Each structure stands twice: as structure tokens, then as C-alpha cells.
Amino acid sequence: MPKLIRLLLASALCLTAAFGAVAQDHSDAAKENPRQVADDIIKEAGQHLGKPYKYAGNGPESFDCTGFTCYVFNKSGYKLSRTSSDQAKNGREVKGGIENYQKGDLIIFGGRSTKKTPGHVGIFIAADSLNKSFTFIHASSSGVTISHSDEPYYAQRFLGVRRILPDFPPEEKKKEKEIVKAPEEHVNLLELLRGKSGAARDSVIAAITERTLVLFPDGTWAFLDENGKYKEAAGDRDFILNADGTWRTEEASTAEFYTVRAGDTLGKIARKFNISVDSLLEMNGLTKKSILHLGDRLRVR
């Protein structure tokens, strides 16, 4: 082989190693709907929930954090670099807030002792409805699990997000928004409250007439004042929406939540916390036809 050709090949190999590129051919996966590929990645990741952590573990019986992401992405035709510092260079940077993240993005965290240096990675699952926090799946020191970005340990070490898959097409993002849009046949809240009994009805109507009532996905609620700031609801009662379109208030209590894992059913979760399925449905505004998704947070107390 001529010397010039040997030098060119050597240079190409060095550049690939230096930049930690996604080297494996994934042209077939790229031709598919990237949202479907992301779903496949999260589904594969969920199959390993509970598997133990092992330093340098490449799977499938045990993993370390980058061994886990490498294994899961490789199943969909994407080869990642093996270290967290190199995975922090894979793909492309996702700028902006949580609203710009998409399922399957790599989440980069600082290490245990060096918070500002990449030392841990996870895979983005979904943001909450207010884009204030998100869930991700990863191989932590306690094994493969789902965590939340607002947990203090991870909130203090969050460094950024890298995108390995193609961007979701604009029309897909539009469809996602339409899913959470209330059907046109639903009546508004004032109409819903008309004719309902209960001492709190008048105060609720007065509140939504004067201020916006905001329901948060973690079961809390607050008012939005004229300056656009949240104000905690006064009093010692919780406001609860039922699945049948009714509402009620009850004595405030410390709520307990559970994160849905692979293989969970409504019945299995209810038995785990010694409550009835009907109670579980009522607390979360669900029906028996509701579909559970990996990473959903359900109130169980």
C-alpha cells in the first residue's frame, strides 16, 4: 500500500477516536421514524430494570452506566463511545430548555466527586407536563432504574444533553401536543361545576373566576396570580378531579407516589400498596381502560 494511503487511513482512525463519533452504520435505523426508534430504545432499556450495577459491565446481566447506554443503543443500530467523557461528545448538543429534549436523548451528569466533569449518563424518557423536570433511565450504583431530574443528587450534577437520533419530524411534535388537548365535546370547568354539591363549590368557582387554577402532575395545585406567579392554595384541603368528570375536596395529606416499571399493571400496583384498583384509579384520575407507560408517576397514598 502506498505510504500516502497508509497515512490517510491512520489519520481517519485517529479522528474517529478523538471525537468519539457514532461509528456504527445505522442507515437503516435512520430511515425509520426516529420516534419509533426512540420508543424501541426505551422499551429495550426497560427490559433491564433491576439488573445489578457492575463496574465495566457491558450487559446483558449487569451494567455500568455507559455499558448500559452502549448496549441499549447498539440494539437499534447505534454505536456509542464507551466512556462517559466520550459519550458527552457523541451526537450533537441539545440547546435550550427541557421542552427541546426528546425521548432517547443522552443525559450527561457530573461524576460523584467531580460534578463539573462528565461521569455519568442516562437516557431521557419524558418531561412532565410543565417542562420543569424529566424522567430518565440509567444504570446507577444500585442497578438499572428510573430517576427524576429534580432529585438533588442529579439536579446538582446535570451538565447537558446530547442527541444521537435524528430530530423528531415537526408533524410528530404537533401530534404529541394534540394528544393532551382536551376533546371539543368536553364542557368547561364552570359548566362541570354547575349543579354539583359541596361546600367548597362556591370558593372554587370564585377562585377560577378571579385567578387561574393550575393542577400539577405530582398531585399538588396552586393559583396563578395576575403577575404570572404561582401561589400555593390556602387551607388544609386538597382539590381532586375524578375520572367521571366530578371533583371533590378532602383533608390534605402527605401524598406518596410510585414510578411505573416494566411489567406493572394497575392490579399489581394496587396489591403492592394494599389498596383497591378503584382507589388507585380515583386518586390518579384514570379509568380501567387507561394505559400505563414506563416512567409514569402514580399516587398510591
First to last CA, the chain: 72
Same structural domain, 57 and 141: yes
Q: Comparing 55-59, 199-203, 251-255, 272-276, which segment has the lowest mean pLDDT?
A: 199-203
At which of 128, 144, 176 does a domain end? Answer: 176
At which of 176, 204, 239 does a domain end? Answer: 176
State percent of the chain over pLDDT 70. Answer: 61
Look at residues 121, 123, 119 and name the one whose alpha carbon lies nearest to residue 76: 123
pLDDT tens, position by position, 105-117? 999 999 998 899 9
Same structural domain, 91 and 16: yes
Hunting for cell 368528570 — which residue is that? 245
- Domain assignment present for residue 184? The answer is no
Mean pLDDT of 269-274: 90
229: pLDDT strictly greater than 80: no
pLDDT tens, position by position, 152-166? 999 999 999 999 999
Same structural domain, 116 and 170: yes
Same structural domain, 195 and 158: no
- Between residues 247 and 256, which one has the greater pLDDT? 256
75: pLDDT strictly greater than 60: yes
Beta-sheet strands, E only, within 114-267: 118-127, 134-140, 143-148, 158-163, 212-215, 221-224, 230-232, 237-241, 247-251, 257-259
Same structural domain, 16 and 141: yes
Q: Could you please report the per-residue DSSP string of 263-279?
A: T--HHHHHHHTT--HHH
pLDDT band at 237 (very low <50, low <70, confident <90, very high): low
Same structural domain, 81 and 153: yes
213 bridge partner residues: 223
297: pLDDT strictly greater than 70: yes
- Domain assignment present for residue 182? The answer is no
Cα 65 to Cα 160: distance, rounded to the nearest angstrom? 16
Same structural domain, 149 and 237: no
**Beta carbons within 10 angstroms of residue 166's beta carbon:** 17
Domain containing residue 239: CATH number: 3.10.350.10
Domain that holds residue 17: 10-176
Cα 284 to Cα 240: distance, rounded to the nearest angstrom? 9
148: pLDDT strictly greater than 60: yes
The number of domains in the chain is: 2
Domain containing residue 161: CATH number: 3.90.1720.10
171: pLDDT strictly greater than 50: yes
Contact 240, 280 (CB under 8 A): no
